[in-house]
Amino acid sequence: MADLMKNKTVVVTGVGVGLGVEVATAHFEEGANVVIAARSADRIEKVAAELDPTGKRVLAHVADINDDQSCAALIDAAVKRFGSVDALVQVAAFEDAWGGLFDADLDKWGKAYDTNVIGALRILRAAVPAIKAAGGGSIVLIGTQSAFKPAMPQAGYAASKGALLSTMYYLADELGPDKIRVNTVIPSWMWGPNVEMLVDYRAQKGDTTREAVLDEIAGKFPLRRIADDREVADATVFFNSDLSRAITGQHLMVNCGEMSR
């Protein structure tokens, strides 16, 4: 175990499967106390038990970023348990906003914005006073490459994440004087449970192999592969650690070179 995050407390929202779990794991392995949150108790309690059977450095707490009181209770629980909050990784998101102009469910577009932008602001409103009280720290938001490179039918999700990226620039400017940095990690394809199922489905449907499907997706990427969930999670550790102490208001694409901007 390294110690990039030693003696720091990190709150991670959206810990279900895939990226949220990997973000929590990556910070824990770098020495952090980790508070993991999601709307379901069963899943986060299982993750907490697997991550730290002693229970000394991991706290599972049910929370909904769309509810102000729930956000406040999450941060209060973190401070009560570990004494401070030094960083937040906002993973929780609503992704089910598919379709183009005429076939999209616009109510779901609204829900994507409400969760991915307004929900993010709700948890930040709760967390920022605690991070400021700790002497400053870091906030990491999760974006999507589809906000830069159209990938139908992800328009609604991408639009909400594009709005979140714009919001980040203002947050970095506003919170900088309080020594709070705000950055965004931008993944594209991420090899994890969800993409693995999709690739297997495409292989079965097309009567081909997993390797052939992966080559179709990533064969022209400079690194010739898809980044995995842990590699995206490692970028959040970088932003939360002192290695990026002079970096704020930035986005970092973790995409094996698929595109750069």
Q: What is the CATH number of domain 9-190+227-254?
A: 3.40.50.720
* pLDDT of the residue at 240: 98
Please report the sign of the dihedral spanned by the C-alpha atoms of residue 121, residue 127, residue 128, residue 131: negative
187-208 mean pLDDT: 88
Q: Which residue, among 68, 121, 73, 66, has the nearest Cα to 94 in the 3D structure?
A: 66
Mind listing the pLDDT tens digit for each residue in 23-63? 999 999 999 999 999 999 999 999 999 999 999 999 999 99
| pLDDT band of 229, cuts 50, 70, 90 | very high
Per-residue model confidence as pLDDT tens digits over 141-161: 999 999 999 887 889 999 999
pLDDT bucket at 22, cuts 50 / 70 / 90: very high
Q: Which pLDDT value is given to residue 194?
A: 81
pLDDT value at residue 259: 87
Please name which of 125, 142, 131, 130 lies closest in space to residue 23, comparing C-alpha atoms: 142
Q: Is 18 left (phi over 0), alpha (psi -120 to 50) or beta?
A: left
Average pLDDT over residues 97-119: 94
pLDDT digits (tens, 9 = 90+) for 130-140: 999 999 999 99
CA distance 260 to 240: 22
CA-CA-CA-CA dihedral for 145, 13, 15, 9, to nearest 10: 110
Q: Count Cβ atoms below 10 Å from residue 52 Cβ, excluding itself.
A: 16
Sheet holding 251-254, edge to edge: 58-62, 33-38, 9-12, 87-90, 137-142, 180-187, 251-254
pLDDT of residue 1: 54
Q: Considering the chain, what is the average pLDDT of its residues?
A: 95
pLDDT grade for 254, boundaries at 50, 70 and 90:
very high
Instruction: Residue 153: name the closest of 112, 208, 211 by CA.
Output: 112
pLDDT of 261 > 80? The answer is: no
